Amino acid sequence: MSRAVCPGSFDPVTHGHLDIVRRASRLFDEVVVAIGVNKSKSRLFDPDERIAMLERACAPFDNVRVDGFTGLLTTYCAEHDVQAIVKGLRAVSDFDYELQMAQMNDSLTGVDTVFLPTSPEFSFVSSSLVKEVATFGGDVSAFVPDFVHTALLERLAARREAGEA
Ligand code: PNS
């Protein structure tokens, strides 16, 4: 059985992520959306919230499940019999860093990385930009699932009320 991971921070999940997950689910028998929960960046949503969002967003895909991981992605792949890492490439600007990570991951455990070109309608969409635009009142409803949009607006409002944003 072929098994791949779609790794990411997913803070929050966007339609761009889900496009890659959907397409990976057609290429592999099983896809694990692996949510990195290392404490390296400040996140808007905590690990449990991100896992719950991904579980809801991926419910339509029969062969996709969601998991969180800490530590190295290659360790997760080795421990869970994962043969491939699937990454979306939005633009040339993504390529340098993604290539570097793919080569590092290969050198660590021999796990391969498969790059999928992002669908053009999502080529400018990222979680970071979605958060930034939403923080300043821009309409990001086209870029995330409706329930994520609601959660995003609620979280930003709560942060503003708490004087954190
Ligand atoms: O959505 P992101 O933030 O681009 O996801 C990055 C992620 C989580 C896929 C990447 O940071 C990662 O693989 N982190 C786990 C730690 C690790 O394995 N680091 C070495 C990468 S070569």
**pLDDT tens per residue across span 98-138:** 999 999 999 999 999 999 999 999 999 999 999 999 999 99
Residue closest by Cα to atom 9 of ligand 1: 8
Q: Tell me, using a 6 A CB cutoff, whether residue 88 lines ligand 1.
A: no
pLDDT at residue number 112 = 98
Which residue, judged by its Cα, is nearest atom 1 of ligand 1? 8
Cα–Cα dist 116/120, whole Å: 12
Pocket lining: 99 vs ligand 1, CB cutoff 6 Å: no
**Catalytic residue at 65?**
no
Q: Does residue 8's CB lie within 6 angstroms of at least one atom of ligand 1?
A: yes
| Whether residue 14 has its Cβ less than 6 Å from ligand 1 | no
Ligand 1 centroid, distance to 161 Cα (angstroms): 32
Q: Beta-strand (E) ranges in the chain? A: 3-8, 30-36, 64-69, 84-89, 112-117
Residue 152: its pLDDT value, please? 98
Q: What angle do CA 98, 87, 2 make, to 5 degrees?
A: 130
Asked whether residue 146 carries a pLDDT value surpassing 80, the answer given is yes
Neighbouring-strand partners of residue 69: 36
pLDDT tens sequence across 117-128:
999 999 999 999
pLDDT tens digits along 44-65: 999 999 999 999 999 999 999 9
Cis peptide before 145 (omega within 30 of 0): no
Asked whether the predicted pLDDT for residue 40 surpasses 80, the reply is no
Return the pLDDT at 38: 81
Structure tokens at 32: 């694990």
Q: Is the pLDDT of residue 165 over 70?
A: no
CA distances from 62 to 22, 49, 59, 77, 124 (A): 10, 21, 7, 21, 28
Instruction: Calculate how far, in angstroms, residue 26's C-alpha sits from the geometric centre of ligand 1.
Output: 23
Share of the chain above pLDDT 90, in %: 92
Handedness of CA 21, 112, 117, 150 (dihedral sign): positive
